[in-house]
Amino acid sequence: MTANKPLAVLLFGPTASGKTGLSLPLAHHFKGEIINADSRQVYRHMPILTAMPEAHELAAAPHHVFDFLEPDESLSVVRWGALALSAAEDIWQRGGVPFFVGGAGFYLNYLTNGLSPIPATTEGMFEALKAEVTDKGLGPLYDELKAGDPTLAARLAPNDTQRIMRGVAVLRETDKPLSAWQRLPLERPYEAKYLKLGLCPPREVLYKRIHDRFDVMLQNGLMDEVTAIYNAGWDPTLPALSSIGFPVYFDYFEGKISLDAAHDKVLQHMRNYAKRQSTWMRRTYAPDKLLSSADTAEATGWLEQQGLTPAR
């Protein structure tokens, strides 16, 4: 405890930086448990492409908030926070340390900074908006947003379906622009002392790790996994799928692109994603301790200096 606040560790790093490999010995050393802070690893059926911790890694420490959603289910940051903090409270009560580990910056930012108190919109509203987009296209909704919330509309691309729908949903249900809600003071979901670790290898090292991991994914059955998702009939534009390269492989299955070209595109997507994560780390996350490699001894020493007590 620090100033009557419980301690937790936030471990953020770009994809393939080595977060899982670092988190496990740290959790073992500090009686820690892993809470997923990756927006992809909440989904079932795609453990290879999402780089889900493998069975032996899951067995090495308790893991929470992994592998529980179907690809067509959504997970808001607020719902994630409720699940993650419920797990954290249980860990604290048992005398342990929560380790929030992942690459979803908006999840970790929610813990440390909070969100504006925007009312939740109903599932029925989103279903109605989806039907409108199917029937008339996105244009009319974007026009409605420009009229009712020009500040938000100016920040969005005309084809940003999810955010345009979100803006219109808030406008219709609250009669108040989302941009106005966003200007209200932020509310943190839980008052804890968060120790922010950052893991960011040099870019050339990171890109080599991405390529090496992709080769392992292929060896472990990536194409079988992607084929199963395709055959299940999931829409490749679902947020769970579109963010990790499934549309590219769907194009391959439909004869629009070669397999080699699909692999190249997915690898480029991974490199671009890692670059964006690294930029967010520098500009927004502001880690208390930045590691250039998964150095367990360095991380352990720093965490002990911050007040974490080794397990007995």
Q: Are 207 and 15 in contact (CB under 8 A)?
A: no
- What was the pLDDT predicted at 1? 44
With 60 as the cut, is the pLDDT of residue 2 above it?
A: no
User: pLDDT (tens digit, 9 = 90+) per residue, 17-66?
Assistant: 999 999 999 999 999 999 999 999 999 999 999 999 999 999 999 999 99
- What was the pLDDT predicted at 123? 79
User: pLDDT (tens digit, 9 = 90+) per residue, 117-137?
Assistant: 888 788 789 889 989 999 999
Q: Are 109 and 156 in contact (CB under 8 A)?
A: no
Q: Give, in degrees to the nearest 5, the angle at Cα 261 between 259 and 267.
A: 105
Share of the chain above pLDDT 70, in %: 99
- What was the pLDDT predicted at 93? 97
- What was the pLDDT predicted at 238? 87
**With bands split at pLDDT 50, 70 and 90, how would you rate the model's confidence at 3?**
low
- What was the pLDDT predicted at 162? 85
User: pLDDT (tens digit, 9 = 90+) per residue, 6-27?
Assistant: 999 999 999 999 999 999 999 9
User: pLDDT (tens digit, 9 = 90+) per residue, 137-166?
Assistant: 999 999 999 999 999 999 999 989 989 999
Q: Are 65 and 84 in contact (CB under 8 A)?
A: yes
* Strand ranges (E), the chain: 7-12, 32-36, 63-64, 97-102, 193-199, 289-291
Closest C-alpha to 144, from 170, 169, 168: 168
CATH number of 123-182: 1.10.20.140
Homologous superfamily (CATH) for 7-115+186-305 = P-loop containing nucleotide triphosphate hydrolases (3.40.50.300)
| Mean pLDDT taken over the chain | 94
- Rounded to whole angstroms, the Cα distance separating 269 from 200 reads 18
User: pLDDT (tens digit, 9 = 90+) per residue, 181-236?
Assistant: 999 999 999 999 999 999 999 999 999 999 999 999 999 999 999 999 999 999 98
User: pLDDT (tens digit, 9 = 90+) per residue, 222-258?
Assistant: 999 999 999 999 998 888 998 888 999 999 999 999 9
CA dihedral 163, 49, 286, 119 (to 10 degrees): 30
Domain positions in the chain: 7-115+186-305, 123-182
Do 123-182 and 7-115+186-305 fall under one CATH topology?
A: no
